[in-house]
């Protein structure tokens, strides 16, 4: 595969760019695009701003204090619908990666479960037994946290709980915390479990307060998680700058998926301005980028079927009550057409369709795309469910 550093696209309208990120391992494409000079090769002078929460990132992008940012995949959809924030249409043309999340339970909860059942830790049935016991004894409900209401973390957590017959809204308390606060909140006894991205599950284990019981990959093989997003008005005003950003991010994603680059990538991520302070507690040998797909399996492609899955989860969880055209929203926010234009200029194979079915492939499979075949990964759900976005 040949990647051109300067494909024949228009000159960026805006060169001085400020992008936001959270200190998570999957901020890597933004960090690598800056540190390896991929942004500058596109004529961009990009500054990266480390933020403290997803709400802060959302608000700063909406207000124009940031030009764009690493975001949870549900944020552009929620913002465009006016859920949890003023209604500001956003677009994403780049998926940051697949996988990287996990559900962690506290040591006391795990000890209680072990006295009730010999079910494996990754099964939520043991947690269901503990919840039932607490209900019968009028004990306080367990408290579980996710990083944001409109996040893959929240939906994967709900999905896992519901499969065991646990009602996420009535059988326990669900709360929201920034990922940087999860392990400390568990240490203080404020939460009993959480779903978050790495390194925050590793940090809980290193602190001796909890252990991951199931990964996001085990719940949904190669599930989407984060995207790079801008407001629609910013894209409309700076389409060439947006394309230049995508060129650099795609190149960074391809670079990251080459195993020989992982150690250098970790060195860059551990710099103080990125993840250094957050990861200081972890031994270097525990850190790995292998659990996240950044480029292979079309990981950077913004599938509209992923957008539809998130929108359906919003409906299922009661977040989205109004009758809306989900397909229309998915098409307005997720823009594979923009990705394809950039990918064509960069001369590498990419999907030629907007949607794909989920839950049908137990191993790698091949999709005939533009410019050649695209190898895709498994996409099974842990409970055998399928999702066929036939509305596309």
- CA pair distance 55, 183, nearest whole angstrom: 19
Domain ranges of the chain: 16-97+225-351, 101-219
Predicted local confidence at residue 141, as pLDDT: 97
- CA pair distance 242, 239, nearest whole angstrom: 5
Burial class (CB in 10 A: 0-12, 13-18, 19+), 371: middle
pLDDT digits (tens, 9 = 90+) for 87-138: 999 999 999 999 999 999 999 999 999 999 988 878 899 999 999 999 999 9
Cβ-contact 19, 94 below 8 angstroms: no
Residue 109's contacts (CB-CB under 8 Å, 6 or more residues apart) are 127, 130, 142, 192, 193
Residue 137: other Cβ atoms inside 10 A = 7
What is the token pair recorded at 148? 């944001």
The model carries a pTM of 0.94
Question: pLDDT above 90 covers what percent of the chain?
Answer: 88
Predicted local confidence at residue 148, as pLDDT: 95
Q: Give the DSSP H/E element, type plus range, for residue 240.
A: helix 239-256
The answer on pLDDT for 82 being more than 50 is yes
Question: pLDDT above 70 covers what percent of the chain?
Answer: 97
In this prediction, residue 280 has a pLDDT band, given cuts at 50, 70 and 90, of: confident
Closest alpha carbon to 284 in 180, 210, 202, 217? 202
The mean per-residue pLDDT over the stretch 61-81 comes to 97
E strands in the chain: 16-21, 45-50, 68-72, 90-95, 101-106, 143-146, 173-176, 193-197, 210-215, 226-231, 365-369, 372-376
Predicted local confidence at residue 284, as pLDDT: 83
**Which DSSP string corresponds to 118-184?**
---TT-THHHHHHHHHHHHTTPPPPEEEES-TTSHHHHHHHHHHHHTT--TTTTSEEEE--GGGHHH
Q: Is 145 left (phi over 0), alpha (psi -120 to 50) or beta?
A: beta
Closest alpha carbon to 256 in 225, 299, 207, 203? 299
What is the token pair recorded at 59? 């608000």
pLDDT digits (tens, 9 = 90+) for 238-247: 999 999 999 9
CATH of domain 101-219: 3.40.190.10
What is the token pair recorded at 359? 């839950």
What is the token pair recorded at 34? 């800056």
In this prediction, residue 1 has a pLDDT band, given cuts at 50, 70 and 90, of: very low
- CA pair distance 265, 254, nearest whole angstrom: 12
- CA pair distance 178, 150, nearest whole angstrom: 13
* CATH class (in words) of the domain with range 16-97+225-351: alpha beta
- CA pair distance 1, 201, nearest whole angstrom: 35
What is the token pair recorded at 64? 């124009």
Burial class (CB in 10 A: 0-12, 13-18, 19+), 248: buried
In this prediction, residue 6 has a pLDDT band, given cuts at 50, 70 and 90, of: low
Closest alpha carbon to 186 in 110, 282, 106, 112? 106
pLDDT digits (tens, 9 = 90+) for 152-180: 999 999 999 999 999 999 999 999 999 98
- Tell me whether domains 16-97+225-351 and 101-219 share a fold: yes
Predicted local confidence at residue 8, as pLDDT: 57
pLDDT digits (tens, 9 = 90+) for 194-237: 999 999 999 999 999 999 999 999 999 999 999 999 999 999 99
**Peptide bond between residue 357 and the one before it cis (omega within 30 degrees of 0):** no
Question: Which CA distances in Å does 291 have to 6, 59, 216, 262?
Answer: 30, 30, 10, 12
Burial class (CB in 10 A: 0-12, 13-18, 19+), 122: middle
Predicted local confidence at residue 2, as pLDDT: 44
Helix pair 28-35, 239-256: axis angle to 10 deg: 100
Q: Higher pLDDT residue, 355 or 277?
A: 355
Q: How much is the mean pLDDT over the chain?
A: 94
The mean per-residue pLDDT over the stretch 174-199 comes to 96
């Amino acid at each position: 595969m040949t990647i051109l550093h300067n494909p024949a696209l228009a000159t960026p309208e805006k060169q001085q760019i400020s992008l936001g990120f959270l200190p998570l391992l999957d901020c890597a494409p933004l960090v690598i695009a800056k540190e390896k000079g991929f942004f500058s090769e596109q004529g961009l002078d990009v500054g990266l701003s480390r933020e403290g929460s997803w709400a802060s990132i959302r608000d700063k992008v909406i207000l124009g204090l940031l030009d764009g940012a690493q975001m949870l995949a549900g944020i552009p959809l929620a913002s465009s619908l006016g859920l949890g924030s003023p209604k500001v249409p956003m677009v994403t043309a780049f998926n940051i990666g697949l996988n990287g999340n996990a559900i962690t339970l506290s040591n006391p909860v795990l000890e209680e479960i072990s006295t009730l059942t010999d079910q494996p830790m990754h099964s939520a049935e043991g947690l269901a037994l503990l919840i039932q016991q607490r209900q019968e004894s009028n004990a306080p409900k367990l408290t579980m946290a996710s990083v944001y209401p409109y996040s893959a973390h929240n939906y994967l957590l709900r999905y896992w709980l519901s499969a065991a017959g646990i009602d996420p809204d009535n059988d326990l308390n669900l709360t929201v915390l920034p990922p940087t606060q999860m392990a400390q909140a568990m240490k203080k006894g404020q939460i009993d479990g959480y779903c978050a991205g790495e390194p925050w599950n590793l940090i809980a284990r290193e602190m001796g307060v909890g252990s991951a019981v199931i990964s996001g990959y085990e719940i949904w093989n190669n599930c989407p998680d984060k995207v790079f997003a801008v407001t629609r008005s910013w894209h409309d005003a700076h389409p060439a700058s947006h394309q230049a950003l995508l060129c650099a991010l795609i190149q960074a994603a391809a670079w990251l998926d080459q195993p020989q680059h992982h150690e250098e990538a970790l060195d860059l991520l551990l710099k103080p301005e990125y993840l250094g302070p957050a990861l200081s507690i972890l031994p270097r040998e525990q850190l790995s980028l292998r659990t996240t797909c950044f480029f292979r399996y079309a990981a950077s492609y913004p599938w509209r079927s992923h957008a539809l899955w998130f929108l359906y989860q919003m409906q299922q969880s009661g977040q989205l009550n109004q009758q809306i055209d989900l397909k229309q929203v998915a098409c307005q926010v997720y823009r594979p057409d923009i990705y394809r234009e950039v990918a064509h200029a960069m001369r590498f194979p990419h999907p030629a369709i907007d949607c794909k079915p989920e839950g049908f492939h137990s191993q790698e499979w091949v999709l005939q795309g533009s410019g050649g075949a695209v190898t895709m990964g498994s996409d099974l759900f842990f409970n055998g469910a399928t999702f066929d976005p036939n509305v596309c």
